[in-house]
């Protein structure tokens, strides 16, 4: 086991009779990892478990070789931006970030320097001296992110970090995540907005009802689920003819013609075989304009896996 | 991680938490509790001043003149010798077939004591002199207020408000994770928070005790106060302040631990209040695990008990064989250290679960 992984080994957590997560085993490699699931699926529970805010009822967790029960060492390498505001009453954004840094043992001057640097990275220097209580949702999100990254952690854990951000800030924030990940660090974030993590994640962990429904790169996740047919949108002149040619294939389970008769949706258990057949059709004279694997995004995979709970 | 770094972390936590402990909206009533004795004695001072003014509105009569009045004299004779009283009223009592009885009451003031004269059918029957202000009495009342109200209620509930808030309050505000996500051992966090609560409670309640004591002294003559101060006063004040501070340390540790253990502060408060106040029923060994047992011995004046106080109440209020002051301080500090050790162990089990709060 590499110490550069975040490892959950058979972890369960119950809140009284309510299931948090059940028998979760995971290995999270450095890079951007998204925990995806509907509200109440267990995303925040997993994040709280790996940062020691809650303890597992069974199983073990190691974050880069450190147990969450040792906050003194763990939180030196971990930054966690939760969904909740934690700023002391009346604190400004700068005070909020700098105060947290003092607990790392930095002198006041050094804490101030690092706080400004972190606020600058999230574009909050202009509002740094305003009270957090007066911040908008997006500004709060950013100041929490600043606090999480201020000590330059190896593992960045972010609960719904893109919520409330405008498109420009969202793009900057995603760039920040990518920079972290490019340095061999963990960026573990949660989201229930599937499209937003689809484009930024190296790997996705799909959670439903406290259990891991799938994990890995989205394409790999998709391929693991062989019992569910893949969907391909094929644009071609003679859609009806193409449909007729494909209908006899044993791995094709369903074909739907578009209303405009210039495209069809094909569901198949073997995408590679379909590609070969389509190549042959093209060679036979069918004018095939494009083949788009429509369900290789998180949303579609997710729908397959959890049955449309999101 | 070195001890020095942990100490620095605890100091940072204490500094930040002290602000919350002093200025929390939830704890404003703590100030009212702490200032109650001072307010009561200031009212007493005002009342004494008002009474003195009222008594002396027709002049002050010398105590020798008042002493010369003897039973059997008539109101007219008294007025002839002492002048007009500051009050003069009477009534006639009539019962069935009995002869009516005329009562007349008059009062004189010698500058420090009032004398009430009761005439029955025109003859002085009773003379009663009572000082308007009694230093001895005030000191005894202060001792009673300090031990019955201040230690048993004000410090007790004040510490409940301050120390239970350190963890429970943050859980309710959904801000506790700020501390738990810092690279700080839970024991260091608990120590920092305890230090903050202790600082706030000790300052508030020792200041309250000192102000109450000074307010108690305020209406008395400077000569009396000076004499008392030189003899016992300074030591008494120091011991009252020490008792208040130790009370904060002891109750604070208990409520900090309770805040880590239970959600509802009312239950531990009720149990502890009962346990503390029923300690005199307990065997000596168990008495040693009550905070009051030690505090009573630190107080400079034994709590006065009026003869009229029911036996059952006396049993609650009268300490059984208090230890020496030195043993009390040591015992209370040991008890506090033990409770804090328990709290440190409990602090390792803290989990964030805001949704169930």
pLDDT, tens digit (0-9, with 9 covering 90-100), for A58-78: 999 999 999 999 999 999 999
- Is the pLDDT score of A219 beyond 70? no
Both A209 and A230 in one domain: the answer is no
Closest CB to B184 among A55, A71, A85: A71
- Is the pLDDT score of B312 beyond 70? no
Both B114 and B244 in one domain: the answer is no
pLDDT grade for A227, boundaries at 50, 70 and 90: low
Closest CB to B351 among A54, A73, A103: A54
Select the highest-mean-pLDDT range: B77-86, B205-214, B302-311, B346-355: B205-214
Q: What is the interface size between A and B, counted as CB pairs within 8 Å?
A: 78
Last residue of a domain, one of A216, A245, A261: A216
Closest CB to B183 among A75, A82, A86: A75
- Better-scored residue on pLDDT, B347 or A259: B347
Structure tokens at B20: 């919350």
DSSP 8-class letter at B98: S
Q: Within the 130-169 window of chain A, which residues sit less than 8 Å (CB to CB) from chain B?
A: none
Give the pLDDT confidence score for residue A254 in this predicted structure.
87
Both A229 and A207 in one domain: the answer is no
Reported ipTM: the value is: 0.76
Range A4-29 average pLDDT: 90
**Shortest alpha-carbon distance between residue A7 and chain B (Å):** 19
Both A134 and A184 in one domain: the answer is yes
Both A147 and A295 in one domain: the answer is no
Tell me if B155 is assigned to some domain.
yes
Percent residues over pLDDT 70 in chain A: 89
**Measured in Å, how far apart are chain A's first and last C-alpha atoms?**
34
Phi-psi region of B235 (alpha: psi -120 to 50; beta: other; left: phi over 0): alpha
Nearest to A80 by CA among A171, A151, A134: A151
pLDDT grade for B182, boundaries at 50, 70 and 90: very high
Give the pLDDT confidence score for residue B304 in this predicted structure.
61
Both A54 and A140 in one domain: the answer is yes
Closest CB to B353 among A15, A88, A104: A15
Closest residue in B to A72 (Cα) is B183
**A114 shares contact with chain B (CB less than 8 Å):** no
DSSP 8-class letter at B351: -
Both B154 and B208 in one domain: the answer is yes
Both A265 and A289 in one domain: the answer is yes
**A80 shares contact with chain B (CB less than 8 Å):** yes
CATH code of the domain in which A290 resides: 3.30.70
- Better-scored residue on pLDDT, A299 or A148: A148
pLDDT grade for B105, boundaries at 50, 70 and 90: very high
Both B270 and B290 in one domain: the answer is yes
**Shortest alpha-carbon distance between residue B171 and chain A (Å):** 11
Which residues constitute the domain of residue A251?
A: 224-306
- B180/A102 touch (CB, cutoff 8 Å), yes or no: no
Q: Quote the CA–CA distance of B140 and B314 in Å, as a whole number.
A: 16
- Is the pLDDT score of A294 beyond 80? no
Closest residue in B to A97 (Cα) is B178
Give the pLDDT confidence score for residue B112 in this predicted structure.
84
Both B122 and B230 in one domain: the answer is no
Give the pLDDT confidence score for residue B357 in this predicted structure.
42
Give the pLDDT confidence score for residue A59 in this predicted structure.
95
Tell me if A1 is assigned to some domain.
no
Tell me if B340 is assigned to some domain.
yes
CATH code of the domain in which A157 resides: 3.40.50.300
Both B14 and B87 in one domain: the answer is no
**A100 shares contact with chain B (CB less than 8 Å):** yes
Start-end of H helices in chain B = 3-23, 28-55, 63-68, 75-82, 135-144, 156-164, 170-173, 177-180, 186-217, 222-228, 234-261, 266-277, 284-287, 291-298, 311-317, 325-347
Phi-psi region of A36 (alpha: psi -120 to 50; beta: other; left: phi over 0): beta
B contacts of A87 (beta carbons < 8 Å): 175, 178
- B20/A80 touch (CB, cutoff 8 Å), yes or no: no
Both A189 and A228 in one domain: the answer is no
Closest residue in B to A74 (Cα) is B183
Closest CB to A103 among B9, B174, B356: B9
pLDDT grade for B4, boundaries at 50, 70 and 90: confident
**Shortest alpha-carbon distance between residue A208 and chain B (Å):** 19
Give the pLDDT confidence score for residue A150 in this predicted structure.
95
B195-247 per-position pLDDT tens digit:
999 999 999 999 999 999 999 998 888 898 999 999 989 999 999 999 999 99
| H/E element, A60 | strand A58-63
Last residue of a domain, one of A175, A200, A216: A216
Both B158 and B246 in one domain: the answer is yes
- Is the pLDDT score of A238 beyond 90? no
Mutate to test the interface with A, among B183, B263, B347 (most CBs of A within 10 A): B183
A contacts of B196 (beta carbons < 8 Å): none
Both B221 and B313 in one domain: the answer is yes
Both B162 and B247 in one domain: the answer is yes
B contacts of A48 (beta carbons < 8 Å): 352
Give the pLDDT confidence score for residue A95 in this predicted structure.
92
The dihedral through the CA atoms of A258, A261, A262, A263 has a sign that is positive
Q: Within the 255-274 window of chain A, which residues sit less than 8 Å (CB to CB) from chain B?
A: none
- Is the pLDDT score of B278 beyond 80? no
Contact (Cβ atoms closer than 8 angstroms) between residue A155 and residue A2:
no
How many domains is chain B partitioned into structurally?
2
Closest CB to A71 among B13, B185, B352: B185
Both A148 and A245 in one domain: the answer is no
Tell me if A180 is assigned to some domain.
yes
A contacts of B25 (beta carbons < 8 Å): none
Both A206 and A232 in one domain: the answer is no
B30-51 per-position pLDDT tens digit:
999 999 999 999 999 999 889 8
A142-162 per-position pLDDT tens digit:
999 999 999 999 999 999 888
Q: Quote the CA–CA distance of B306 and B315 in Å, as a whole number.
A: 13
Last residue of a domain, one of B90, B108, B131: B131
A169-217 per-position pLDDT tens digit:
888 899 999 999 999 999 999 987 666 677 788 888 888 888 888 887 7
pLDDT grade for B351, boundaries at 50, 70 and 90: confident
Mutate to test the interface with A, among B20, B23, B181 (most CBs of A within 10 A): B181
Which residues constitute the domain of residue B86?
A: 58-131
Both B285 and B310 in one domain: the answer is yes
- Better-scored residue on pLDDT, A237 or B102: B102
Give the pLDDT confidence score for residue A310 in this predicted structure.
42
SS3 B303: coil
B contacts of A105 (beta carbons < 8 Å): 5, 8-9
Last residue of a domain, one of A216, A232, A255: A216
Q: Quote the CA–CA distance of B65 and B174 in Å, as a whole number.
A: 73
Q: Quote the CA–CA distance of B270 and A173 in Å, as a whole number.
A: 51
How many domains is chain A partitioned into structurally?
2
Tell me if A268 is assigned to some domain.
yes
- A103/B180 touch (CB, cutoff 8 Å), yes or no: no
Select the highest-mean-pLDDT range: A167-176, B136-145, B187-196: B187-196
Both A111 and A242 in one domain: the answer is no
Q: Quote the CA–CA distance of A81 and B174 in Å, as a whole number.
A: 14
B contacts of A71 (beta carbons < 8 Å): 180-186
Q: What is the 3-state secondary structure (H, E, C) of B276-290?
A: HHCHHHCCHHHHCCC
Both A58 and A121 in one domain: the answer is yes
- B16/A51 touch (CB, cutoff 8 Å), yes or no: no
Structure tokens at B207: 């200041």
Both B171 and B219 in one domain: the answer is yes
Last residue of a domain, one of B109, B131, B153: B131
Both B311 and B188 in one domain: the answer is yes
This prediction's pTM: 0.79
Give the pLDDT confidence score for residue B318 in this predicted structure.
56
- Is the pLDDT score of B191 beyond 70? yes
Structure tokens at B182: 């810092």
Tell me if A38 is assigned to some domain.
yes
Residue B269 CB neighbours (<10 A): 19
B contacts of A85 (beta carbons < 8 Å): 174-175
- B353/A54 touch (CB, cutoff 8 Å), yes or no: yes
Q: Quote the CA–CA distance of A243 and A129 in Å, as a whole number.
A: 64
Tell me if A256 is assigned to some domain.
yes
Structure tokens at B209: 């005790």
Tell me if A232 is assigned to some domain.
yes
Mean pLDDT rounded to a whole number for chain A: 85
Both A48 and A168 in one domain: the answer is yes
Tell me if A82 is assigned to some domain.
yes
- A100/B354 touch (CB, cutoff 8 Å), yes or no: no
Give the pLDDT confidence score for residue B183 in this predicted structure.
94
Tell me if B336 is assigned to some domain.
yes
Last residue of a domain, one of B131, B148, B172: B131
Q: Quote the CA–CA distance of B12 and B35 in Å, as a whole number.
A: 29
Q: Quote the CA–CA distance of A133 and A129 in Å, as a whole number.
A: 12
B contacts of A15 (beta carbons < 8 Å): 353, 355-356
Number of alpha carbons in the 13 Å side-chain half-sphere of residue A33? 27
């Amino acid at each position: 086991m590499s110490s550069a992984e975040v490892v959950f080994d058979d972890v369960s957590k119950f809140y009284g009779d309510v299931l948090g997560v059940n028998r979760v085993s995971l290995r999270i490699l450095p890079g951007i990892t998204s925990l995806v699931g509907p509200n109440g699926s267990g995303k925040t529970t997993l994040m709280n478990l790996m940062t020691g805010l809650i303890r597992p009822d069974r199983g073990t967790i190691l974050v880069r070789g450190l147990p969450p029960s040792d906050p003194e060492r763990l939180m030196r390498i971990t930054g966690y931006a939760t969904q909740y505001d934690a700023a002391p009453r009346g604190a400004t954004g700068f005070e909020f970030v700098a105060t947290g840094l003092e607990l790392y043992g930095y002198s006041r001057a050094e804490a101030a320097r690092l706080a400004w640097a972190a606020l600058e990275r999230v574009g909050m220097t202009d509002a740094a001296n305003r009270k957090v209580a007066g911040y908008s949702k997006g500004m709060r999100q950013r100041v929490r992110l600043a606090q999480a990254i201020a000590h330059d952690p190896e593992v960045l854990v972010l609960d719904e970090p893109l919520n409330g951000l405008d498109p420009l800030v969202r793009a900057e924030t995603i760039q920040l995540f990518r920079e972290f990940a490019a340095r061999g660090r963990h960026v573990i974030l949660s989201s229930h907005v599937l499209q937003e993590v689809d484009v930024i994640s190296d790997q996705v962990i799909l959670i439903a009802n406290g259990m891991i429904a799938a994990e890995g790169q989205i394409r790999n996740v998709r391929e693991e689920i062989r019992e569910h047919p893949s969907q391909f949108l094929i644009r071609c002149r003679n859609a009806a003819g193409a449909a007729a040619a494909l209908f006899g294939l044993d791995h094709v389970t369903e074909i739907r013609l578009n209303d405009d008769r210039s495209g069809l949706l094909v569901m198949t258990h073997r995408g590679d075989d379909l590609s070969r057949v389509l190549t042959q059709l093209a060679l036979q004279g069918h004018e095939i304009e494009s083949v788009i694997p429509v369900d290789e995004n998180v949303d579609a995979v997710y729908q397959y896996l959890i049955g449309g709970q999101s | 991680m070195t001890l020095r770094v942990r100490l620095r972390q605890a100091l940072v936590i204490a500094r930040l938490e002290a602000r919350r402990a002093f200025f929390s909206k939830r704890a404003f009533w703590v100030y009212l509790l702490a200032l109650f004795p001072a307010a009561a004695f200031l009212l007493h001072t005002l009342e004494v001043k008002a009474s003195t003014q009222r008594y002396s509105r027709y002049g002050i009569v010398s105590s020798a003149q008042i002493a010369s009045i003897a039973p059997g004299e008539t109101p007219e004779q008294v007025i002839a010798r002492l002048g007009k009283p500051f009050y003069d009223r009477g009534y006639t009592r009539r019962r069935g077939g009995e002869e009516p009885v005329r009562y007349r009451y008059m009062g004189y003031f010698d500058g420090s004591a009032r004398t009430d004269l009761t005439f029955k059918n025109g003859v002085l029957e009773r003379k009663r002199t009572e000082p308007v202000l009694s230093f001895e009495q005030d000191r005894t009342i202060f001792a009673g207020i300090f031990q019955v109200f201040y230690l048993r209620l004000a410090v007790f509930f004040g510490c409940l408000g301050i120390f239970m808030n350190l963890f429970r309050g943050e859980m309710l505000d959904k801000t506790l994770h700020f501390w738990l996500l810092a690279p700080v051992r839970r024991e260091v966090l608990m120590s920092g928070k305890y230090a903050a609560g202790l600082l706030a409670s000790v300052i508030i309640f020792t200041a309250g005790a000192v102000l109450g004591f000074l307010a108690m002294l305020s209406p008395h003559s400077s000569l009396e106060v000076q004499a008392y101060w030189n003899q016992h006063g300074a030591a008494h004040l120091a011991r009252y302040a020490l008792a208040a501070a130790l009370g904060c340390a002891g109750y604070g540790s208990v409520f900090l631990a309770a805040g880590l253990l239970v959600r509802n502060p009312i239950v531990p408060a009720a149990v502890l209040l009962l346990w503390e106040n029923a300690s005199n029923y307990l065997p000596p060994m168990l008495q040693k695990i009550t905070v009051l047992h030690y505090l009573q011995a630190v107080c400079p004046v034994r709590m006065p008990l009026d003869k009229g106080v029911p036996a059952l109440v006396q049993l609650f209020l009268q300490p059984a064989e208090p230890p020496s002051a030195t043993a009390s301080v040591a015992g209370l500090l040991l008890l506090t250290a033990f409770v804090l050790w328990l709290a440190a162990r409990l602090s390792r089990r803290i989990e964030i679960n805001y949704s169930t709060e």
